A and B are shown apart, each in its own frame.
Chain A
Amino acid sequence: QSVLTQPPSASGTPGQRVTISCSGSSSNIGSRTVNWYQHLPGTAPKLLINNNDQRPSGVPDRFSGSKSGTSASLAISGLQSEDEADYYCAAWDDSLNGVVFGGGTKLTVL
């Protein structure tokens, strides 16, 4: 059971907009910033969104992040087949003194 809660799966057709939610608590998302990672099988994870809503250089603006209270969301607009991957939210947890990840959401592009 992960400390951060994500839906196990999400799907959409090319061009659609999908959102992935991430729910935490006051010791992590509620008091810290949220980061999102994209992970394709067999490759290293990639930073997608940091500090709730910041896109690192090279990440398309189709990806956006937001946070409210103890929850966060990742939105992907203009869905493309190459977006099919696992997506993880993460944050520092002040009670556990470590990083906590969500369980991951497998995105399928239909």
Chain B
Amino acid sequence: QVQLVQSGGGVVQPGGSLRLSCVSSGFTFSAYGFHWVRKAPGKGLEWVTFIPYHENTKYYADSVQGRFTISKDNSRNTLYLQMNILRAEDTAVYYCAKLAGSGPDVFDLWGQGTMVTVSS
């Protein structure tokens, strides 16, 4: 079954860290690029970060640059998002999303989402 299954969300204090995981199945994980997208309460979708299939360059939104790190483990078919120095404004549902093909912005498969709450 073609799917992305997420885990790792939760409640963390400001300044803390959290790692999200996104496990894939049903397709060749190493052949695709992936993004993380988030939706804060009452707000719209916000792009967070992108890792191409070749992993040579990674892209980050200004709001998370230097604090978040995207990575993928092809042997485990797993995408990660390491989030450090978390802030209240990082509170959101985080989605991993698979690219459809060679272009950088068509997401044809999404994870179910995982909630991250940054609060003291």
List residues of chain A with CB under 8 Å of any chain B CB. 2, 32-33, 35, 37, 39, 44-47, 50-51, 56, 86, 88, 90-92, 96-104
Contact = CB atoms under 8 A, between A and B. Distances in A.
Contacts of B50: 98-99
Interface string B27-59: 000000001010100001111001000000001
B9 interface: no
Interface string B4-43: 0000000000000000000000000000000101010000
B106 A35 contact: yes
A21 B110 CA distance: 24
Contact of A39 (B45, B47, B59): B45
Contact of B45 (A33, A45, A46, A92): A45
A27 to B, nearest CB: 13
B7 to A, nearest CB: 15
B9 to A, nearest CB: 14
- Interface residues of A: mostly helix, strand, loop or mixed? strand
Contacts, number: 66
A99 B104 contact: yes
A101 B97 CA distance: 14
Interface string B82-120: 000000000000010100100111111011110000000
Q: Please provide the 6 A-B residue pairs with the shortest distance between their CB atoms, ordered closest to farther.
A: A44-B110, A104-B44, A99-B47, A92-B105, A50-B106, A101-B45
Contacts of A99: 35, 37, 47, 50, 104-105
Contacts of A101: 37, 44-47
B44 A103 contact: yes
B107 A37 contact: yes
A35 B105 contact: yes
Given A44-B110, A47-B107, 15 more contacts: A2-B44, A35-B106, A45-B107, A46-B110, A50-B108, A90-B47, A91-B105, A92-B103, A98-B50, A98-B60, A99-B35, A99-B50, A99-B104, A101-B47, A104-B45
